[in-house]
Amino acid sequence: MSIGRVLIVDDHKRVLTALQILLQDEFEEVQTLSNPNSLLSTLATNQYDIILLDMNFSAGVNTGNEGLFWLKKILDKDTDLAVVLMTAYGDVELAVKAIKVGASDFILKPWDNNKLVSTLKTALELRRSKQKIIQLENEKAGLAREMNQASTQMIGRSKPMLEMLRIVEKVASTDANILILGEHGTGKELIARELHQKSERCNGIFITVDMGAITESLFESELFGHVKGAFTDARESRIGRFEIASGGTLFLDEIGNLSMPMQAKLLGALQTHKIIRLGDNQVRDIDIRLICATNKNLVQMVVDGEFREDLLYRINTIQIDVPELRYRNGDVAVLAEYYLRKYAAKYNKENLRFAKNTIDKLMGYSWPGNVRELQHTIEKAVILTDNPELLAEEFLFKERRINEIKNEAVSFEEMEKQLIGSSMDRHKGNMSHIAKELGVTRPTLYHKIKKYDL
Ligand SMILES: Nc1ncnc2c1ncn2[C@@H]1O[C@H](COP(=O)(O)OP(=O)(O)OP(=O)(O)O)[C@@H](O)[C@H]1O
């Protein structure tokens, strides 16, 4: 028996009785209605999955117009209801008209019992699939809205920043592939999100894949998906990031970390706009806007034979260079103020201010870890301070010259390690909370935990 509620509408009592007897063993609930005039009030108080509706109600007038009239009324109330129509006259034109208006199917009287039952069951399945699709579409749109809302506003009014934002503004609405270059923590992911939000695809999904955290063996399954049984651990079929991002934007972070074989596979998908799930043979079209980012010098990598030239050309239709924080005069002060307000609110220290000379000290520092380092530095200071003002002495920077920046990367790594370690303690290993606090994706977090052996 199928789980489904059926309403039969026909003005012939004998038809109603015969259909009810036939269908009550096949469906969960079967009700009848001999007068269509009470159809709308019946629909208002009861829920059905299928309506089996006669086309001709007034004796002697067999135009089917009454059926079409009631069909429209039903669909006005609930566009997803499956309506199967019945007529004693095999009028193809009328059938086409009814299907165009939104009927699920059409049955001729006298009916064949088996055919009638299977038509209704197919209509029911179709309704279920439609409902599932609508539910998934709603969930997807809701998720996209939530993800878009969650992203931070871009802060910065310095000249290099304004120049970059002007380019972002210009290229966002195009569907061009974009390559974002910049040091760690300069805001590449934030810019990618901004591009997505300002694009025609803003109601679609923005999805990030951290290429630095993806292993050779998982690459294809992660990006292209797999079918059940494609490899030992593939217990269920799974769609890949390319398909999830369909209609939206796919952001490939740390693209410079891809091995040559992975680059070849990625290039294949980008050239053909098609993918094949691992273990499958169906070719599927992909519809994504591609944004890539890296802190590596890809041109040098091409020269060194570490990055495919054809892939570089494919991904950098437009290149955006994100300026390092140390070259953004004035942005440090604005960002510092922004993060002070954010963390003061978070840690219930709303009245906390910077002391007079603190901002000068922050502006004098070179910020090798860029905005992320500034963000974490302010958060740490807000947590640790017992003063009503954040004093310059509370920020302990080793003064560094530009030629020391190479070594700074090492000390920044040390700092990053400590930050992750303390966040892990604070959140008792809850990866979602840690990733949220540190402003990184979970794959990046896993990668860093592995890297620092935490
Ligand atoms: N202009 C900005 N305004 C506000 N916040 C910013 C800005 N730039 C970066 N941030 C913040 O700094 C942190 C790091 O930014 P993001 O992750 O986008 O950098 P990234 O360049 O992608 O870093 P990585 O190369 O390490 O992946 C995030 O928390 C982000 O919100």
Say what the ipTM of the complex is. 0.98
Q: What stretches of 102-227 show up as alpha helix (H) in DSSP?
A: 113-150, 159-172, 188-197, 216-224
pLDDT digits (tens, 9 = 90+) for 109-131: 889 999 999 999 999 999 889 88
Domain extent at residue 192: 151-159+172-314
Query: Among 86-100, 359-373, 400-414, which stretch is predicted with the lowest mean pLDDT?
Result: 400-414
Identify whether 144 is part of a domain.
no
Nearest-angstrom CA–CA distance, 222 and 204 = 19
Same-domain status, 289 and 358: no
Percent of the chain with pLDDT over 70: 93
> What's the CA-to-centroid distance between 435 and ligand 1, angstroms?
13
Distance (angstroms) between ligand 1 centre and the Cα of 440 equals 9
CA of 383 to the centre of ligand 1 (A): 21
Locate the ligand 1 atom nearest the alpha carbon of residue 439 and give its number.
Answer: 29
pLDDT digits (tens, 9 = 90+) for 368-377: 999 999 999 9
- CATH number of residue 194's parent domain: 3.40.50.300
pLDDT at 300: 94
- The DSSP result for 416-453, as a single string, is HHHHHHHHHHHTTT-HHHHHHHHT--HHHHHHHHHHTT
3 Cα to the center of ligand 1, angstroms = 51
Q: Hey, whose CA ends up nearest to atom 13 of ligand 1? A: 372
Tell me, yes or no, whether 333 and 309 share the same domain.
no
- 299 and 260 in one domain? yes
pTM equals 0.66
Task: Give the least confident one: 275-284, 346-355, 402-411.
Answer: 402-411
Say what the pLDDT of residue 170 is. Answer: 94
CA–CA separation, 454 and 437 (whole Å): 17
Measured by CA distance, the residue closest to atom 24 of ligand 1 is 184
The rounded Å distance from CA 370 to ligand 1 centre is 8
User: For position 109, what pLDDT does the model report?
Assistant: 85
pLDDT score at 153: 81
65 domain residue, yes or no? yes
CATH number of the CATH domain containing 8: 3.40.50.2300
Tell me, yes or no, whether 146 lies in a domain: no
Residues 331 and 310 occupy one common structural domain = no
- Are residue 275 and residue 335 in the same domain, yes or no? no
The tally of domains found in the chain comes to 3
CA distance 241 to 221: 9
* Distance in Å, CA 204 to ligand 1 centroid: 22
Q: Report the distance separating Cα 55 and Cα 92, nearest Å.
A: 13
Atom of ligand 1 nearest to the CA of 161: 1
Same-domain status, 177 and 310: yes
**pLDDT of 61 above 60:** no
| Residue 166 included in any domain | no
Residue nearest atom 25 in ligand 1 by C-alpha distance: 184
Query: Domain for residue 52, yes or no?
Result: yes
Distance CA 57, CA 338 (A): 70
Residues within 6 Å of ligand 1 by CB: 152, 154-156, 182, 184-190, 253, 293, 295, 371-372, 375, 439
Helices (H), 151-297: 159-172, 188-197, 216-224, 241-244, 260-272
